[in-house]
Structure 1
Amino acid sequence: MEWQNRFTKLELGSKDPLPELMVSDLNSWNLLSVTGEDQKSYLQGQLTCDLVALDPQESTLGAHCDAKGKVLSIFRCFKHNDGYALFHHASTTASSLTEIKKYSVFSKVELDISSDITLGVLGKNADNFIDSITSTRGNVRTVENGSAIKVEDNRWILVVDRNSIATTLDKMSSAIFVEDDIWDKFDIESGIPRIVEGNQNTQIPQAFNLQAIHGISFSKGCYTGQETVARAKYRGTNKRSMSIVKGHIEIASDLPLELERSVGENWRSVGTIFTHYRYTDGLAMGLIVLPNNLEQDTKFRLANQPSSIWQIVDLPYEIEE
């Protein structure tokens, strides 16, 4: 049996309890591997996060921007094997690699798409399971032929060598094997942003709330796009932020969800929900970048399903400029 065939879609209603231990094939995600003598200094000059200050037993969110400060990719960065790994959405892998390699010819650094497999381990028994296969207790741990990276309580990324994946899955007999849309659900609830193919080069990092979730260092020094990012903080020029929205989707669709907002008796386009999760009963939630001066009780609707009313819900963290 091919290992990928173990994973099936979890049919989950909005009031259904979650399995206590789930393993998800994160096939919508990839790792960029960064190795070589200059790995840290090269990334330090490219990314919004501070790798010099990063504890090897911790991970960090961060972004890679173009020269104008627009975000090319958002990722989780951590030490892995002999270098760093950048975990980010697979739809941006090729373009992200091209952009981040632009100046690598001047440094002793190698950047490639990793062949390792990424799994999500989640559910209320996830921490206990990771403890059972590791001997250390940091938030980035070495496991047999890979690494375990804590995202939040009871949610981990497990990075495994491709040749070891079947053996690893055999150790998880108590887990439910699910497709990776469940990862979307948890990211949305936690307000963790991502860049997908459709929203690259559209916003500065603060529009994705990265300053609120430790994804931007304002003291590390220069990096690509740093002038724009700093100006937005110190001059208050950023006018957008990421919100969690919820409502109903009458008909399930993978098409982009265009949101409109109520303006008096009319409706105006306000943006695209760039990731969403839909329960079997139609309740859905998603992430979208909106003007940051909208009222919390602003009403929204889907452009192609006008009877579906949506609203903003509270983020699990405070936004700071």
Structure 2
Amino acid sequence: MDWKNTFSPLNINADDVLPELMLTHLASWGTIQIVGNDAKSYLQGQVTCNVVSLEAQQMTFGAHCDAKGKVWSVFRIFHHNGGYAMFQPLSAIEAELRELKKYAIFSKAELTHCSDITLGLMGAQAQSWIDSHTQTQGDVRSIEGGTAVKIDSQRWLLLVNSEQAVELVNTIEATKVDESLWTRFEIEQAYPVVTQAEQNEHIPQAVNVQALNGISFNKGCYTGQETVARAKYRGINKRAMYIVKGNIESPLEDVVQLERSVGENWRSAGQLMIHYTFADNTTIGLVVLPNNLEEDTELRLTSQPNTRWTIEALPYSLSDDQ
């Protein structure tokens, strides 16, 4: 049996108790790998985060922008296999890699779409499992066949070669679930997920990268820095990413548009970046909205006008004091 077919949906509601240890194949995620003598300095001049100060046991969010400050990619970056890995949605990688490589010809840095497998370890016992299979401490650790990266208190990313992926899937005593549960946790943590559909649409602050310590404002020049700096120091950014929640009447399509109430009328609000539906048809998602909306603004699905959605509290502050 193909190991990729061993993961099944977990039909749950928001308050249901989850299995203590779960494993998923993150088929819609991938990584760009950067190696070479100039890998650190090259990335430092391309992305919003401070690569120079990134320790071997650390992971950080970051963004890569075009010259106008619009985001090609929001990623998690960490040390991997003698270089760096940038973990991000798979659909964003083609354009992101093309743009990121534009000036690499002048540097001793090789950028490739990494062939390693992305697995997600989740649950209350995820930390214990990692501790028993690694020899070091920190949020980034060497593991057999690759690297383990702490995502949050109940999630670890495992970036491993194909042989180790097969070994893990076949031997681990964990519930095998499909990757939609990983999506749920990304939404609940309000971590930006910039897929191909969202590329070149937003500046980093519009998807809350600054709130996740993914922007260094004192590291020096990088592509799009002028726009990012103006958004902080002149207050030009008028948008932010929010968690939204509501009901659905039928399964959602890939592209989901929201409307917001304006008096007795409805106006276009934005497109869901990602979404997750519970067993009771309650759905949560991430969307970029004007950052001056009232908290009680009523929303609905454009394609399902009888639905009602609300803006939920974020798990972090959007204060721009970093």
TM-score by length of 2: 0.98
**Which residue is equivalent to 1:78?**
78
Question: Which residue of the partner structure matches residue 209 of structure 1?
Answer: 208
1:247 deviates by 0.4
- State the 1:307 CA deviation: 1.1
Q: What does residue 107 of structure 1 align with?
A: 107
Please say if residues 247 and 309 of structure 1, whose CA atoms lie closer than 8 Å, have aligned partners that are also in contact.
Answer: yes
In structure 1, what is the equivalent of residue 29 of structure 2?
29
Question: Deviation of residue 12 (structure 1)?
Answer: 1.6
**Aligned residue pairs: how many?**
320
> What is the rounded CA distance, in whole Å, between the counterparts of 1:166 and 1:260 in structure 2?
44
Separation in structure 1 between the aligned mates of residue 221 and residue 272 of structure 2, nearest angstrom = 32
Secondary structure of the structure 1 residue equivalent to 2:177: strand
CA contact (8 A) 1:211 1:320 kept: no
Counterpart of 1:307?
306
Secondary structure in structure 2 of the residue aligned to 1:186: helix
Q: 1:180 deviation in Å?
A: 0.7
Residues 169-318 of structure 1 aligned to structure 2 (within 5 Å) = 169-173=169-173, 175-318=174-317
Counterpart residue type for residue 303 of structure 2? N
Aligned residue number for residue 147 of structure 1: 147
Please state how far the C-alpha of 1:274 moved relative to its aligned partner. 1.0
> Alpha-carbon deviation of 1:206?
0.2
SS in 2 for 1:99: helix
Name the aligned partner's letter for residue 223 of structure 1: Y
Q: How does 1:119-158 map to 2 (within 5 A)?
A: 119-158=119-158
CA distance in 1, matches of 2:240, 2:16: 31
Distance in structure 1 (CA, Å) of the matches to 2:213 and 2:14 = 30
Is contact 1:241–1:292 with CA below 8 Å preserved after alignment?
yes
Q: Which residue in the other structure is 2:8 paired with?
A: 8
| Aligned residue type for 1:131 | D
Q: Quick one: which amino acid aligns to residue 213 of structure 1?
A: L
> CA offsets per residue over residues 255-297 of structure 1, 9 Å max, x none?
3111000000000011101101001210010000000000000
Q: Match of 2:77, SS? A: strand
* Residue 90 of structure 1: aligned partner: 90
2:115 partner SS:
coil
Deviating more after overlay: 269-278 vs 1-10: 1-10
Structure 2 Cα separation of the partners of residues 195 and 254 of structure 1: 17
- What amino acid does structure 2 have at the position aligned with 1:65? C
Percent identity among equivalent residues? Answer: 52
CA distance in structure 1 between the partners assigned to 2:35 and 2:244 by the alignment: 39
For 1:130 and 1:250, the matched residues in 2 are separated by 40
**Deviation above 4 Å: which 4+ runs of structure 1?**
none
- How big is the shift at 1:170? 3.0
Deviation at 1:18, TM superposition (A): 1.1
Match of 2:164 in 1: 164
Contact 1:32-1:113 within 8 A present in 2 as well: yes
Displacement of 1:10 in angstroms is: 1.4
**Counterpart in the other structure of 2:51:** 51
Structure 1 window deviating more from structure 2 (6-15 vs 103-112): it is 6-15
**In 2, Cα distance between equivalents of 1:71 and 1:205:** 6
RMSD of aligned Cα (Å): 0.9
1:229-257, CA deviations, whole angstroms, 9 ceiling, x for partnerless residues?
Answer: 00110001100000000001121123311
SS at the partner of 1:179?
coil
Code of the residue aligned with 1:210 in structure 2: it is: V
Tell me which amino acid in the other structure corresponds to 1:61: F
Alpha-carbon offset, residue 132 of structure 1: 1.1
Shift of 1:176: 0.6
TM-score of the superposed pair, with normalisation by structure 1: 0.98
